[in-house]
Structure 1
Amino acid sequence: MRFWGMVVFGVLGTAILLSLGIWQLQRLAWKQEVLRAIESKILAPAVKIPQTVLPDAHSLLPVRAEGRYKGDTVRVLVSQKIYGAGYRLITAFELVDGRTIMLDRGFTSVRSEIPSTPEGRGQVIGNLQWPQEIDSFTPENDLAANIWFARDVARLAEHLKAEPVLLVLRDSSFETEAATPLPKMTANIPNDHMNYAITWFSLALIWLGMSGYFLYRSRDPQS
């Protein structure tokens, strides 16, 4: 009786772990399809910024804009794997039609001097974004030191006297732009389902091996 109980226990445990691994493979296929759709949207041909910009309808929309930088630059503290700690530089950008949006110009290290804002008129290409970077752990911005801790589009727009529209730079015709663009890419979106699947399948193999070992140890010596 004990022997068959251990058999059932081993088979059920292995089946559950295998099913979890298969579920993660299914999640992987779903996630890859989602990422392909996002990447297709991000890399679509750039269009002019709509007259009426809607966050739900135009998030990640690739756009091109012509105009000039104006006013101060806000520094948003971030960390990049390759470069370490640094700032995203966000500056108001006045379009040729008179509207003013905001431009996320890219990254500069905390060890570097903040680059000057390019002068004159130029063209920029990027994607519209409304990042959700604020949670209960986000500290208050240090306005005196010009250090922000999240890209809060509404507050940034009020501070920079611009529309609540953020364009994350991908390419620029400004020759003096010294920041490193950090465009939105699917590589930044976590996709660990394959690792999870391998973990569950490995656990299933270990469970099966251990079950077999215990069955071998508990076999009837008289048989």
Structure 2
Amino acid sequence: MLNAQTAAKEKTKGFPWALVVATLVALAILVSLGNWQVRRLAWKGNLLATIDQRIHSDPVPLADALARKTAGEDIEYLPVTVGGSFIPGVEEHVLSTWNGASGWNVYAPLRTGGGDVVFVNRGFVPYDRKDPASRPDSQPQGPQQISGLARLPLAAKPSFLVPDNVPAKNEYYWKDLAAMTAAAGLGGETVLPVFIDAGPYPDPAKLPIGGVTIIDLPNNHLQYAVTWYGLAAVLFVISGLMIWRRLRN
């Protein structure tokens, strides 16, 4: 009887409790991360469906879109219309690409009929056509009726990998509404808290090229979920083998 009790104590003492606890904790973390990615997958799918439905909806006046924004509604990519005249001689240039070519998106301030100002992304110009003098026929004259997609300004630089804007050289790498407003000399104006990406123009050969909004939200959450669940499965198998060998020995 004493020998059996001693053997049981020795076996219990040699059981890899630390390994079991560490494995369970790691499995809980990996499975939780997988579950989180599954929830993100559902969220992203709903978001993409909402955006797709929104961009194909009928346009609304910009004033109505801003009222929705004030009420807490998301107006990103909402089709809008607005009338007004572009402020002469003012363009802000945001680095961009279009069909594999590097260039600039031309942002121009439009004074609306109500006297407010909204920056309109008029479209893409090649890198060497940044200077408006190189494309004199691209300057709009007189009253304009703009149709496009509402885009919200960024609160801050999206990533430390993105270069800092250089307003003094009229070179922007992210859409900084405050910096554009100051550089355009519109500090005393009422600048609306939204951008408008203009839609395609009747003459596609004329600069700038309109309708350059790219709606490409990555949806890799399924891959991430499979990765986390796969790591959990591998950890379970390896830890199980280690525990089995320890007990066997």
Q: What's the TM-score bracket when you normalise by the shorter of the two chains?
A: 0.7 to 0.9
1:139: which partner in 2?
Answer: 164
Identical-residue share of aligned pairs (%): 24
Q: Which structure has greater helix proportion?
A: 2
User: What is the correspondence of 1:36-75 to structure 2 with a 5 Å cutoff?
Assistant: 36-50=49-63, 53-54=66-67, 56-57=70-71, 59-60=75-76, 61-66=78-83, 69-75=86-92
Structure 1: unaligned runs, 5 residues or longer: none
Q: 1:181 corresponds to which residue?
A: 211
Superimposed CA distance per residue, residues 183-215 of structure 1 (whole angstroms, 9 cap, x where no aligned partner): 263x2x344322321221111121022113313
2:125 to 108, 116, 131: 108
Aligned length: 217
What is the TM-score normalised by the length of structure 1?
A: 0.73
Q: Which of 97, 104, 107 is the aligned partner of 1:87? A: 104
Q: Mean Cα displacement is larger for which, 96-105 or 161-170?
A: 96-105
**Corresponding residue for residue 169 of structure 1:** 198
TM-score scaled by length of structure 2: 0.66
**What's the CA shift for 1:163?**
4.8
Q: Does 1:156 align with 2:156?
A: no
List alignment gaps of at least 5 residues for structure 2: 1-11
Indicate yes or no: 2:152 matched with 1:130.
yes
Hey, what does 1:35 align to over in structure 2? 48
Helix, strand or coil: the match of 1:205?
A: helix
Contact 1:95 1:101 in 2 (8 A): yes
Sort the Cα spacing of 1:209 and 1:84 in 2 relative to 1 into closer, same or farther, 3 A: farther
User: Which structure has the highest strand share of the two?
Assistant: 1
- CA-based RMSD of the aligned residues comes to 3.6
For residues 88 and 218 of structure 1, the distance between their equivalents in structure 2, rounded to whole angstroms, comes to 64
Q: Do the aligned partners of 1:76 and 1:150 also contact (CA within 8 Å) in 2?
A: no
CA contact (8 A) 2:153 2:175 kept: yes
